[in-house]
Structures are given as C-alpha cells and as structure tokens.
Structure 1
C-alpha cells in the first residue's frame, strides 16, 4: 500500500497518505526528550514547514535557532512558539541564505556543537531574480547557500545531521545544463523543481564528503503553507481539502533529526521511508552530468 500511495502521487502526497502511513509509526517515534541539551538550526523558520519543524524539534528538547531573512518580521513567530512550548529555548537569527556573504557572516557567529541543520528556506520567484552574488535565486537559496553553510559549519556538525527539504516536483526535471537559467526563457516553477532535483542528486556526494555526519533530503508532500499559497494559488485552491498541515509535512524532518539510531545517510525520504529518486527515464543523470553540477555548485558557492 505504501508503494502504491507513493507511485500514484496524489493520494500519497496528501493528508490521505500521511494518515494511512502514520498508523504504523507510534513505536517508531523519537523518545520524549531525545534532543535535550542539543542545538538545532532551521532556515526559513518564520512560517509553514520551517516553523512546524522548529516546534517539533523544540518539543523533543532541542534549543532551536530560527534563521529568517528579516528578524523584525519574526516577532509573532517567536511569541507563538514560546506560548505553545514555554519551556523551550528559541533564538531568532537573521540571515538571507541566498546571500553567500551573509551566510559567511552568520556561520562565523555560531559556536558549539550543532545536532541538526535543517535547510528549509525556499523561494519561487515569478521572474528570474539574482542573489547579491549574481546567481539565479532558486539555485542560490536551495543549493548554493545550503552547501556553503554546511561546509562552514562542518566543525560543528561532527556528530550532527544535515537535512535538506526538497520537493516532489523534482521528479519532473533532470539535472539542468543551464542551472543559472541564463540561456533559456525563465519559468519559476521549473527553476524551483530543477534546484530541488540538484539537491536530491548531490545528497549522496555531500554525505560522502561529510561522513560521518548524517545527510538526507526529504520532501513533505503537499502541505498548506504560506509559501505554497503565495507561489501556486491556483494549485492551493484546487487541492486545499487534501493538503497536509505544516506539522504533518514536517514530521519526517523531525523524525530524521531525532530518531535513534541514525537512519542510513545520503538517502531521499518521504513519510519516514526512503524513496526512489527517479520515476521517469528522461530525468536520470549520467555520472558526468552529476560530477559537472556538483563541481559547478561548489565552485559557485565558494567552496
């Protein structure tokens, strides 16, 4: 049933799939207090999946850094989290993950062990937009910034876990030959899906590079979040009765961060299980294409 839900997409990615699969999870849940004394960093934490992830990690005892682009706009988020989880520790950190200089400044200020680094920040601009360093914005936000932040925090992540939040939309796209979208007409949804394909494709390479640090990508299914509503209002309206809550969408992220022993590294996850990274033959990449995109992204990130 789990495989059927996954392959048919629509039931598997909605709250239907979550409801059916979660019936087998109670004995699989992280133990209460399993993250006590540990630190977690969650990007894009002001709302939606990021906020739900921060809350889930905090309920397990973690002190959580909420990384947002504008700290002044996160006051309500912080107040709500502190009201709902009064014994938890939250710190609001300002950093635009697409800005590589800002990432360097931010990483320099983080000290001590980090147990979980969750790359959740996401964008889907309608028109081609560039980061301060001149990179296409979805690539900078979803790939370059996370790669650089992870590299800079390598000493803090010796026993940690790195989790990138991707999208099932990546199944529709191969690795791009033009990752910066410089030579073809721009489509926001396609650029978004391509950057998510890159995330999934390079995860095994990142895991090998960071070993023994755990690395994973996971997609949340279709969850009702401000980002989805703003970027795809028509899709949100059509699917609203079936969308997951942010908490349901964030479940696997929290599980990957806290479950013991650590799951296998370098894998792609959905609803607490590993999933295939390709369903279409046309999206499969050659070793040469994978090496080229890995080399390009690391160089572009300044690694």
Structure 2
C-alpha cells in the first residue's frame, strides 16, 4: 500500500504560503475558470512564483480584468487570456489545437454546481458535460504539450460533493432517472477524481501526473444556484452538524496550488487531497475523506472509455 502524503500545510494555509520559495520561472500554466473564485487566487499564486499563466475563461472581459489585477499584484506581465467554453467540446479541442509549445501545469478548475436540469446541444447533462467532459477533451487535446514539458502536472478540482454519487454509468445524463442537481454535481465531481487516477496510470510514462482535490467550502460564484438551506440540508443528510467552516478564496486555492507547484508532490499522481493533505477513506456519516468508488481503477478505466466514445 502506498504511503499517504502529508505536508506541513493545513486547512488555514493560503496559496501564497504553500508556494513560498518555489520558482516557476520558465514554466507555463493554464487555469480554467481563472477569472472567478479560487481560480483567480490559483492563477495569482502561480504568477507570483514566476509562471507564464493563461486564464482559460468563458467571459473574456472578466478574464482581461483579472489578468490586469494579477499583473498589478505580482509584477508578472506574462498573463494571457483565452476563450474556453467547457460545455462545448469544439471549444475545448479548439483551444488545445491552438496551444503551442510545452505546458507544465494544467489546473482544471472551472465548473458548475447544482444547476437546474440543462442539456447541451448534444443532449448531455450540463454539469457532467462541463465539469468532466469539457476538461477531458481539453486535457487529452493537450497531451503532447504536457508530455513535452517533462514532469507536467494536471490538477483536477473536485469536491466533497463527490460523496453524493458515484458515476452512474447506466444513466449518466439522467435520461431515465429523475434529475437531482446534487446527484448530478456529485457524479461529475467523482468523475474528476477518477479522471486524475486513470490519467496518471496512462500518462506517467510521459512524465505527466494528475491529482484531484477538495478545495473546502468557499463562497464564490460557483454557488449561485445554492441557498444556505440547501447546504444545511446536504450536511444533515450526511450526518454533518453545525455551521460550515468557510475558507477565504486564498485558503481555498491552497490545495490546488500545492498540487500544481509544490516539490512535495514530484512524481505523485492519482490521489485525492483535502486541506493540503492526501485524504483518508471516507467514513459513513461524514463529509470528509474520499469515497472508495472514486478511487476504483475499473470505474476510472470505464469512465475514460465512455468519455472517448461520447466525444468521438
């Protein structure tokens, strides 16, 4: 059994703290959803360490404002903005096709949470399409660039929401079962963990390692469909009590930045982290740790094939 990864950092650590002393000069990074929430602070920390950072965003105006802010706060002028709509696979593959040169860090950060039932033009359920399929298309499209970097890292931003549902392979897109926004979200977040697991198995020989994470509870635009009552009900269902422990966006970005840049994670892949430490197995009735189904190698392999087939 592999040794569980621990670090000197924890729940209150910030992105700036986990990257202190790390030099990313000459490295290139992409952060999806880099213009809002923890994406901004993830990009800022990478830029502050000297990386050339591309914000891959739906809203170019918001991206431009964020880029200006990051340049002003870090002094790093190598901040770019590019359009990416993860719900549209053509946008993801088009983005990847125009990328030139090596890519050292890909942070798959963007996502939607608990949205009302929405289908893409292909008929795919929106949360699975955006949170998983879009990132799958983007990442596989960037395989050559990641391999060219030598020691590239892919960071898959998941959630404790993965505890709500495994990937239901028999009806991923809610064509036969009643739609539940939290189950749909949970399924997509489980997919994020399985994707990092399978990617590492397939691409480690190319020097590419992927890990997934739970950033923590952070109030961002991600929760625009979510009320306080929704969150309390979800915690009650899982046996959680008391108020949520909210993190700042700087704390919320810490685990992403740790996985993206810390030398403590060199050569490590296929694992799920929370609070800057590899998670323990989830215990029933709690909202911490990782579900066994999210680290199931057979499910990871199946998801990869389903994703290839869906997008082809």
Query: Normalising to structure 2: TM-score of the pair?
Result: 0.81
Offset, 1:225 = 1.3
CA 1:301–1:233: 2 relative to 1, 3 Å: same
The DSSP-based 3-state class of the residue aligned with 2:179 is coil
Which moved further from structure 2: 105-114 or 169-178? 169-178
CA 1:30–1:174: 2 relative to 1, 3 Å: same
Partner residue, 1:185: 178
CA 1:164–1:147: 2 relative to 1, 3 Å: same
Partner residue, 2:303: 293
- Cα distance in 2 for residues equivalent to 1:92 and 1:136: 27
- Cα distance in 2 for residues equivalent to 1:128 and 1:40: 33
Question: Is 1:216 aligned to residue 211 of structure 2?
Answer: yes
Partner residue, 1:37: 26
Which moved further from structure 2: 256-265 or 144-153? 256-265
Question: Is 1:172 aligned to residue 164 of structure 2?
Answer: yes
Please point out which of 195, 220, 227 is paired with 1:225.
220
- Cα distance in 1 for residues equivalent to 2:20 and 2:256: 15
Offset, 1:271 = 1.9
Please point out which of 161, 164, 188 is paired with 1:195.
188
The DSSP-based 3-state class of the residue aligned with 1:164 is strand
Whether the 8 Å contact between 2:198 and 2:301 is mirrored in structure 1 is no
Partner residue, 2:41: 52
CA 1:80–1:290: 2 relative to 1, 3 Å: closer
- Cα distance in 2 for residues equivalent to 1:296 and 1:237: 31
Matching of residues 62-141 of structure 1 within 5 Å: 62-124=51-113, 126-141=115-130
Offset, 1:174 = 2.3
Partner residue, 1:248: 251
Offset, 1:143 = 1.1
Offset, 1:210 = 1.4
CA 1:62–1:287: 2 relative to 1, 3 Å: closer
Offset, 1:87 = 2.7
CA 1:287–1:64: 2 relative to 1, 3 Å: closer
Whether the 8 Å contact between 1:99 and 1:133 is mirrored in structure 2 is no
> Which segments of 5 or more consecutive residues in structure 1 lack a partner in the other structure?
1-16
Aligned-residue Cα RMSD (Å) equals 2.6
- Cα distance in 2 for residues equivalent to 1:186 and 1:148: 25
Whether the 8 Å contact between 1:200 and 1:277 is mirrored in structure 2 is no
CA 1:260–1:33: 2 relative to 1, 3 Å: closer
Whether the 8 Å contact between 1:171 and 1:280 is mirrored in structure 2 is no
Query: Normalising to structure 1: TM-score of the pair?
Result: 0.83
The one-character-per-residue Cα deviations of 1:245-273 (angstroms, maximum 9, x if unpaired) are 11101101111111115152111111221
Whether the 8 Å contact between 1:115 and 1:157 is mirrored in structure 2 is yes
CA 1:77–1:202: 2 relative to 1, 3 Å: closer
